[in-house]
Amino acid sequence: MKIALAQINPVIGDFAHNSRRILHWTEEAKKQRCDLVIFSELALCGYPPQDFLERERFLRDHDRALAELVAGISGIGVLCGVLERHSGPTGKFLHNSAVLFEDGGRLFTARKRLLPTYDVFDETRYFEPGSASAAFLYKGTRLGITICEDIWNLPAMFPRQAYAVDPLSELMSPPNSKPEILINLSASPYHLGKDAIKNELYSRICRRFNLPLVCVNQVGGQDSLLFDGRSLAMDRSGGEIIRAAAFQEDMVIFAAETGKGQPHDDTVTHEAIDETGELLAALVMGVRDYVGKCGFTKGVLGLSGGIDSSLTAAIACQALGPANVLGVALPSPYTAPESIEDARQLAHNLGCRFEIMPITSLFESFQDTLAPLFKELPVDVTEQNIQARIRGNLLMAMSNKFGALLLSTGNKSEMAVGYCTLYGDMSGGLAVIADLPKQLVYKLARRLNSGKETIPARVLTRPPSAELAPDQFDQDDLPPYDMLDAILAAYLEENLGVDEIVARGYNRPIVEDVVHRVRRNEYKRKQAPIGLKVTTKSFGHGWRYPTAQNYREGKIQE
Amino acid sequence: MKIALAQINPVIGDFAHNSRRILHWTEEAKKQRCDLVIFSELALCGYPPQDFLERERFLRDHDRALAELVAGISGIGVLCGVLERHSGPTGKFLHNSAVLFEDGGRLFTARKRLLPTYDVFDETRYFEPGSASAAFLYKGTRLGITICEDIWNLPAMFPRQAYAVDPLSELMSPPNSKPEILINLSASPYHLGKDAIKNELYSRICRRFNLPLVCVNQVGGQDSLLFDGRSLAMDRSGGEIIRAAAFQEDMVIFAAETGKGQPHDDTVTHEAIDETGELLAALVMGVRDYVGKCGFTKGVLGLSGGIDSSLTAAIACQALGPANVLGVALPSPYTAPESIEDARQLAHNLGCRFEIMPITSLFESFQDTLAPLFKELPVDVTEQNIQARIRGNLLMAMSNKFGALLLSTGNKSEMAVGYCTLYGDMSGGLAVIADLPKQLVYKLARRLNSGKETIPARVLTRPPSAELAPDQFDQDDLPPYDMLDAILAAYLEENLGVDEIVARGYNRPIVEDVVHRVRRNEYKRKQAPIGLKVTTKSFGHGWRYPTAQNYREGKIQE
């Protein structure tokens, strides 16, 4: 049996587009004389469709689109992730399923059994789990079909099982006949380091059950989620046979009899990339897809001459093309001349359009307007925020006038502790590097510069400053970034408490201050733009904390 | 058995505060010689604690606070909603439980079995369901203890059961001994019309099982959720025996032997209120609690002289006291003199502070600054947004300088179709009337004015206008509000599609336009402030739609 692994980049709810991508790769698989072509989890509607699943009209359109595909394809088997009605007397109305169809007939349906409901996942909100797993005999080969989370419950891999059932064990156990090939359809969001975890899991599964494994994963950016593709076939000893491209549509072919794999086309190259290269590619895809799927072609952003906006601009130019990017320097009275020079040089290096629009006179006008009300009250953070919000207003005006999506430039460290201005620098449709801790921002910038200097070298060496007050430097308000990022990772990604973080050797008042700032700035993040998720825990849909709260660790009495 | 129903207003994670409230009412119940005092679902940590539940330190603090309560209370039984560790080999780490303790010992624990995972609820994200229900014999009486959703699966009430198990039936069935009193601990968020549904459900349950029912519900505002209290006891024929106050802490007492109820204190009056009165009370509580629980005492808001900001100001003054509210008129070149007059009169009627801060010169400065870039490009919505964002900047400056929380004033109709400016009039910590359709805004304003004219009469009769362009009226850009609100209710609350809404007699191009606007403005709502939920479907945590999507009803092919 010759199996095509086709990873498409679906648009949520765009049944016409998604059907076209499915038809395109099905034709390609037929040309290459494949017996079966496999698409990813919920490939027809795109993952995650969220509350569209509660709309009957959406489901009807999905079912019609599926019926058209089933009726319209012949000469090859298609296994595709689809929505399926659950008709039982109780429970949710849908299954997350994979349907195998051929020459107008539906041969088999597998239902997802393990429904992730944590972090960014809400699957029990919509789906009823499947109740059984059995291999299906197709063209003489027993296929063991699973969907994403179904294979993420392997006892050898996880110290504690999140689910009481294990579809893999069930597939292998009598009275079921053991499959000859394991198949997994997934829409598994990327994060830094996940590829290694997946490879480990997949190869353990192959070895544990002595079976080859075929995984087809969604590709593309969907709001904050980045799907990396990299669909693959592994042999029964867990060795990689063939792997599709990362961060782009692709198809590869696995010949079960020979155990050999091949690309669909010799022009697609699959270079191994290191972690920073992978991260850059993920962010570039995320920007391209978010901007494009929202109907834009152009981007605009503020260039402060700092590292965050420089990196964001470089990513935007790769994603949209430099001709579609406008970078604007918006100097205030506290902006150093070097900042403007560096912003200009960056734009020159990137080849994007550059404008300078000083905000000093607007800042003065705001102060004049407010003077009768503020009287002799001392200058404080208010005046800093006013500057940031003038910039936000100007950038949004350009966004509105030119039809360019505003990209915001804040990093994860400052989003965490609220070192940013709501409606100011936080303005934008997409926060490109909002899940990158500051240290990682530097790392990516250095990587970008590794061939030739794109970001002016001085940007990487000057001490970071918001430049909203005289002689202001981040390190006057915040702990050193290496310390801050380590504390934040412990708090955000490991869920540790203050005591545990202090036990790692950090100063207690600093840790308490950082944790306090994270909690107290929930309100800013509630109104932040969508940020591209690249770590195990990003702010956004998978980070759900109350804004009104008064939790103080260890405080149970007044 | 004499049972006290004590509804507290908890602060999420504030174990010291919540313990104090529990101790306060326990003492009161002891004074009144009660045998048992009942608190609401998760009363000790507050509902919903969201991702705090993933933090071991939070759970430890909860457990210590509970241990202190158990050890510290004597002479009365306490039944309280608490977190309980789930120690099983698989599944989530917690149960949502009710523990009955007395004189230092824990006598019984009931676990929530039906875990709502829809709309604003995410309970399967955190909790493992309980697996059995049986009555507990306490002081000679068999208590049937359930938690919130556990009793919301009654076949007679719902055409289709959402859950495969029914804890109530199980409580009543052999080998279990039938309880003599049914008890329900809940944290059931308010929406318009829900009280009637609850009364219907409760009385059906009493009649179906021929048992009295005691329900204790959380009270208070928690971010977008408003808990209305109104804890009650019902007799076996479904008649109300006693009911606690709406929208405030209270305790009432139910004597099981006599079937009689009594307030804890004759000074608390329980007036029947109509729907608009109820809604006003809910919103006032929501503002007071959000502002207070976030650590503020003061509020600031823009007064346009329109109906939305007028109603918001009136609610804010009731919630915070007029002395703590600053209303600011921010006239632009397009503001009618009547608008300023009405804003001033409103502030005078309310007794709050009032300022006028014209934005004309700032607006001109922005246009001058942008002129070299915008050149001869025609005036469009950009210039409207600039004005709104100047106002946002000024109001946020006042918020920052005076430590007053900015209240935004947009209604649900405009939030739905995006007739509002991100970072402009959408700025603020809390969107007070964001879940009120425009027609309901008028209804509440008329109700407010029913005694004496608070909102100047002209505000209710002038045609609504954003006053961001010459001779601009809402009805030039939007369908009439009665039609718009009906279409929106059908789309948002009933989940109907375009065809179904058209079938109700609305013009197809209008319906298509409204639905298109709702979908296309998801990005604005993603960055909107928290809005107080008062309908069955509000924007916010219970409304989860992708921003990047291209769903077009009925379109499955190009």
Q: Which residues of A349-367 are buried (b: 16+ CB within 10 A; e: fewer)?
A: bbebebbebebeebbebbe
Class of domain A2-269 (CATH, top level): alpha beta
Q: Which residues of B178-196 are buried (b: 16+ CB within 10 A; e: fewer)?
A: ebbbbbbbbbbbbbbeebe
Compute the half-sphere exposure of residue B498: CA atoms within 13 Å on the CB side of its CA: 20
CATH number for the domain running over A278-470+521-531: 3.40.50.620
Per the annotation, the verdict on B148 as an active-site residue is yes
Question: Distance between CA B495 and CA A496 in Å, rounded?
Answer: 41
Residue with tokens 């919505």: B381
Q: What is the mean pLDDT of chain B?
A: 96
Q: Which pLDDT does position B269 carry in this prediction?
A: 67
Q: Is residue B29 predicted with pLDDT exceeding 90?
A: yes
Summarised one tens digit per residue, pLDDT across range A114-162 is 999 999 999 999 999 999 999 999 999 999 999 999 999 988 888 889 9
Q: Is residue B451 predicted with pLDDT exceeding 90?
A: no
CA-wise closest residue to B247 among B9, B21, B47 = B9
Average pLDDT over residues B86-114: 97
Question: Distance between CA B289 and CA B222 in Å, rounded?
Answer: 7
Q: Which residue has the higher pLDDT, B474 or B509?
A: B509
Question: Distance between CA A376 and CA B43 in Å, rounded?
Answer: 46
**Burial degree of A476 (CB within 10 A; 0-12, 13-18, 19+):** exposed
Question: Distance between CA A320 and CA A284 in Å, rounded?
Answer: 9
Summarised one tens digit per residue, pLDDT across range A423-476 is 999 999 999 999 999 999 999 999 999 989 999 999 999 999 999 999 889 888
B529: nearest CA partner in chain A: A527
pTM of the model: 0.97
- A557–B13: do the CB atoms touch at under 8 Å? no
- B122–A122: do the CB atoms touch at under 8 Å? yes
Q: How confident is residue A406, by pLDDT bands cut at 50, 70 and 90?
A: very high
Rg (CA), chain B: 26
Chain B hits for A65, Cβ within 8 Å: 556
Summarised one tens digit per residue, pLDDT across range A29-53 is 999 999 999 999 999 999 999 999 9
Summarised one tens digit per residue, pLDDT across range B255-311 is 999 999 999 987 766 677 899 999 999 999 999 999 999 999 999 999 999 999 999
ipTM of the complex: 0.97
CA dist A297 → A85, A148, A353, B375 (Å): 37, 33, 15, 22
CA-wise closest residue to B245 among B208, B225, B223, B273 = B273
Q: Which of B550, B555, B558 to mutate to test the interface with A (most CBs of A within 10 A)?
A: B550
Write out the catalytic residue numbers of A: 41, 112, 148
Structure tokens at A421: 């201005």
Chain B hits for A401, Cβ within 8 Å: 370, 374, 377, 380, 382
Chain B hits for A382, Cβ within 8 Å: 397, 400-401
- A14–B551: do the CB atoms touch at under 8 Å? yes
Q: Which of A551, A552, A555 to mutate to test the interface with B (most CBs of B within 10 A)?
A: A551
State in Å, rounded, how far the first CA of chain A is from the last one.
70
Average pLDDT over residues B115-125: 98
- A389–B389: do the CB atoms touch at under 8 Å? yes
Pair B136, B142: CB distance under 8 Å: yes
B55: nearest CA partner in chain A: A495
Distance from CA of residue B5 to its chain's centroid?
22
- A548–B366: do the CB atoms touch at under 8 Å? no
**Burial degree of B118 (CB within 10 A; 0-12, 13-18, 19+):** middle
B370: nearest CA partner in chain A: A394
Compute the half-sphere exposure of residue B502: CA atoms within 13 Å on the CB side of its CA: 12
Catalytic residue among B34, B45, B148, B215, which? B148
Q: How many other C-beta atoms can be found within 10 angstroms of the C-beta atom of residue A474?
A: 19
Q: Which of B163, B224, B521, B547 to mutate to test the interface with A (most CBs of A within 10 A)?
A: B547
Chain A hits for B386, Cβ within 8 Å: 393, 397
CA distance A155 to chain B (A): 11
Chain A hits for B64, Cβ within 8 Å: 556
Q: How confident is residue B156, by pLDDT bands cut at 50, 70 and 90?
A: confident
CA distance B419 to chain A (A): 15
Per the annotation, the verdict on B80 as an active-site residue is no
Chain B hits for A512, Cβ within 8 Å: none
CATH number for the domain running over B2-266: 3.60.110.10
A287: nearest CA partner in chain B: B548
Q: What is the dihedral of CA A483, A484, A488, A491, to 10 degrees?
A: 60
Question: Distance between CA B345 and CA B304 in Å, rounded?
Answer: 12
Q: Is residue A267 predicted with pLDDT exceeding 80?
A: no
* DSSP string covering A37-92: EE--TTTTT-S--GGGGG-HHHHHHHHHHHHHHHHH--SSEEEEEEEEE--SSBS-
Question: Distance between CA B163 and CA A407 in Å, rounded?
Answer: 44
Q: What is the mean pLDDT of chain A?
A: 96
Q: Is residue A273 predicted with pLDDT exceeding 70?
A: yes
- 8-state DSSP, A455: S
Question: Distance between CA B441 and CA A34 in Å, rounded?
Answer: 62
CA distance B403 to chain A (A): 10
Q: List CB contacts of B347: < 8 A, sequence separation 6 or more.
A: B303, B313, B327, B353, B354
* DSSP string covering A148-214: GGGGS--TTT-SSBSSS--HHHHHHSTTSPPPSEEEEEE--B--TTHHHHHHHHHHHHHHHHT--EE
CA distance A235 to chain B (A): 30
Q: Of B58, B393, B548, which has the smallest distance from its Cβ to A390's Cβ? A: B393
Segments making up each domain of chain B, as ranges: 2-266, 278-470+522-531, 479-520
At B309 the three-state DSSP class reads helix
Average pLDDT over residues B346-369: 98
Question: Distance between CA A552 and CA B504 in Å, rounded?
Answer: 53
**Burial degree of A471 (CB within 10 A; 0-12, 13-18, 19+):** exposed
Q: Which pLDDT does position A269 carry in this prediction?
A: 67
At A123 the three-state DSSP class reads helix
DSSP β-bridge partners for residue B146: B184
Q: What φ, ψ does residue B257 adopt, rounded to 5°? A: -65, -45
Q: Which of A23, A86, A381, A401 to mutate to test the interface with B (most CBs of B within 10 A)?
A: A401
Summarised one tens digit per residue, pLDDT across range A205-219 is 999 999 999 999 999
Q: Which pLDDT does position A250 carry in this prediction?
A: 97
Rg (CA), chain A: 26
Average pLDDT over residues A363-372: 97
Q: List CB contacts of B137: < 8 A, sequence separation 6 or more.
A: B143
Catalytic residue among B2, B34, B41, B533, which? B41
Domain B278-470+522-531 part of CATH 3.40.640.10? no
Question: Distance between CA A146 and CA A280 in Å, rounded?
Answer: 31
Beta strands B250-255; B2-7: pairing state = antiparallel
